[in-house]
Amino acid sequence: MAATQQPSDEAALQKRTVETIIRVGVIVVLIAWCFLIVWPFVTPLVWGVIIAMATYSGYRWLLTVLGGRRVAAASVYSLVMLILLIGPMVVLAETLVDGARQLAEALIDGRLTIPPPPDGVRDWPLIGEPVQKYWSLASEDISAALSKIAPQLRALGRWLLSVAAGVGFGVLQFVFAIVIAGILVVHAGGGRDASLAIATRLAGDRGRDYIELARSTVRSVARGILGVSLIQTGLAGLGFLAVGIPGAGFLALICLLFSVVQIGVFPVLIPVVIYVFVEMDTMTAILFTVWNVIVGFTDNALKPLLLGRGVKVPMPVIFIGAIGGLLTSGIVGLFVGPVVLALGYTLFLVWLDDGPEQLPGHTGPDTPASDSPARRSHD
């Protein structure tokens, strides 16, 4: 009897094992399939969440002004965000494409002229003599000079085309993200409850602390770094367009990149100011210089206001997040990358600390955020 029951138990165990494997396999396939379907929307979705979290106070103000009408407030909110974010992106895309077209036409028609090198170029250490020779060749015969670097030019051309196309696609992603942000701010209460429920399932009683940490980190990075970078780049771009700087869109893109990675915009502004002094009248050059000095120091005035009491994140994390996001997800990744990496970095540190009382930004009712133990450890 026992011998008969043992094969029966083994058969039942095998049956349950096969059924479990099939169920797990079906679930894995379903999850993977869903992931592949939503993957193209992940970056704009995350960017929409970031925009909603960073600008929710603006929506609340609109809601108060419009007498609590949520749909009207969300519509105005979305319209304002489209004007503030999409407008500069469209101008950037147009100037990039136009600049690339003008450069190509000048090269084809032979209208591109290079002035001869200054006398002091030959005296530059290490690179002076080869630079002087190539510069002289370019000033005498641009076609011969370009033929020497044809492979590099082809690579540069492909990169410029991809950047221009990426900016155009980035505009569409921005539109999609702003629509998502407008929907999220209207349903902020439900989103907060859902995120709290997920965090509680993942972290237990510490879920609420993690939610507060995530919110403070996202707002800090989005406002104090990305917001300042967008404002600074927008002001610099307006100056470029006002005086008619060639390649204004490309220069604005470089300003945006340098500003996000915390290098600053002066490495771009200084050569442009020199160009204006050489090519334009003195009054225009002086006014343009004053404008750019103001633009260059804008971040010093805005960062203390917009960072507020947010969690501080090391600049290398922002740098890696910005560059990695740009390489993987294009222009939108330049904004999403720093926020996501900063959030992951901060949550990882909290996990290492393993104590809710050490959460950055987690303070008691009478303790300022700047005096919390974890805040001091991050400083």
Over the stretch 266-299, which tens digit does the pLDDT of each residue have? 888 888 888 888 778 888 888 989 999 998 888 7
Which amino acid belongs to residue 5?
Q
Closest to 224 in 3D by CA, of 296, 305, 321 = 305
**Where is mean pLDDT largest: 108-112, 221-225, 268-272, 304-308?**
268-272
Give 282's contacts (C-beta < 8 A, 6+ positions apart). none
pLDDT, tens digit, for every residue of 233-271? 888 888 888 888 877 777 887 888 888 887 888 888 888
Residue 27 DSSP SS3:
helix
Least confident of 68-77, 81-90, 267-276: 81-90
The pLDDT assigned to 29 comes to: 93
How many angstroms separate the CA atoms of 222 and 142, rounded? 45
Regarding pTM above 0.85, the answer is no
Confidence of residue 3 (pLDDT cuts 50, 70, 90): low
pLDDT above 50 for 52: yes
Q: How far is CA 204 from the centre of its chain?
A: 32
Confidence of residue 373 (pLDDT cuts 50, 70, 90): very low
What Å distances lie between residue 136 and 116, 127, 132, 271, 278, CA to CA? 6, 14, 6, 21, 20
pLDDT above 70 for 208: yes
The pLDDT assigned to 370 comes to: 39
The pLDDT assigned to 28 comes to: 92
Closest to 143 in 3D by CA, of 111, 98, 169, 96 = 111
The pLDDT assigned to 291 comes to: 92
> Which tokens hold the place of 170?
């980035």
pLDDT, tens digit, for every residue of 141-160? 766 766 776 666 666 666 66
pLDDT, tens digit, for every residue of 311-338? 567 878 888 888 888 777 777 787 888 8
> Which tokens hold the place of 235?
């002001």
**Cβ contact 325:336 at 8 Å:** yes
For residues 351-374, average pLDDT? 48
pLDDT above 50 for 88: yes
**Cβ contact 342:360 at 8 Å:** no
Closest to 338 in 3D by CA, of 366, 318, 310 = 318
Q: Mean pLDDT score of the chain, rounded to an integer?
A: 76
> Which tokens hold the place of 331?
């222009």
pLDDT above 80 for 38: yes
